[in-house]
Homo-oligomer: A and B are copies of this chain.
């Protein structure tokens, strides 16, 4: 059977066929579109479903691209690519709070700031997109890390931590508690943990089906930013995160509502 590509060629073809179909495809539609034999197409779809690259929609016979693939694609996108998307949102935040607004992204096991807008009033505080945020002392990093899987969290927490200020939290148990709190509350807060006198908030950006890869936040002097009620800041950041999420090429064609019951069947073996 050796056509041109290798064994993966037909998987890739199948994925692209599904990607091109806004509402998903049934087995027979895939067969027609790809020219694969029925049994073969069925097996390929099963294998793709097995690794979460595609997902059955609604009932069980219509397939769409799945969350795992979406996440992979997001991870692969260069940070700079999103900066133009979020610029207007960040500017709106700055206009609202007169503080620096920024977006951070998970890159490998680091969290990097990828876009930032600074209020005109304090021009001295310049921006360094690409800066790696310390995971234990930056709200932006905690907001993202809290929603990663255990393996990544373990890896991150196994690294050495600098005590930047007397507020910096360096104990592993402390930090795990922080992350738990972030998960519960839906936002992260760093109060002079990185720089003295500086306060920062960050909200995770939940990508539909792809988990959390970005956070959006505010930084400013505790004296000023602290004047705003926490609930107000968080509410507005949450709204911005939601808007950001929607503006990203997140959603695949159809909302993947149903949960993915990870590896439901493993029979016949």
Contacts and interface: CB of A to CB of B under 8 A. Distances in A.
Interface of A: 2, 4-9, 11-12, 15-16, 19-22, 47-48, 50-53, 65, 68-82, 84-85, 100, 102, 106-109, 113, 116, 125-126, 128, 130-133, 137-140, 190, 193-195, 198-200, 217, 219, 246-254, 259-261, 263, 265-269
13 contacts: A8-B51, A8-B53, A19-B72, A20-B108, A73-B76, A73-B249, A78-B251, A78-B253, A85-B249, A193-B269, A194-B269, A219-B268, A219-B269
Nearest to A194: B269
Contact of A76 (B65, B125, B190): B65
B65 A69 contact: no
Contacts of A15: 72
A147 to B, nearest CB: 16
The 4 A-B residue pairs whose C-beta atoms are closest, nearest first, are: A200-B269, A19-B75, A81-B249, A77-B249
B107 A251 contact: no
Nearest to A50: B6
A21 B106 CA distance: 11
Contact of A84 (B7, B106, B247, B260): B247
Contact of A7 (B47, B69, B132): B47
A5 B107 contact: no
Nearest to A18: B76
Given A85-B85, A263-B131, A249 B76 contact: yes
Contacts of A125: 266-268
A190 B269 CA distance: 7
A70 B76 contact: yes
A254 B42 CA distance: 36
B47 A80 contact: no
A250 B81 contact: yes
Contacts of A265: 195
B108 A51 contact: no
A76 B252 contact: yes
Contacts of A267: 125, 195, 198, 219
A207 B132 CA distance: 28
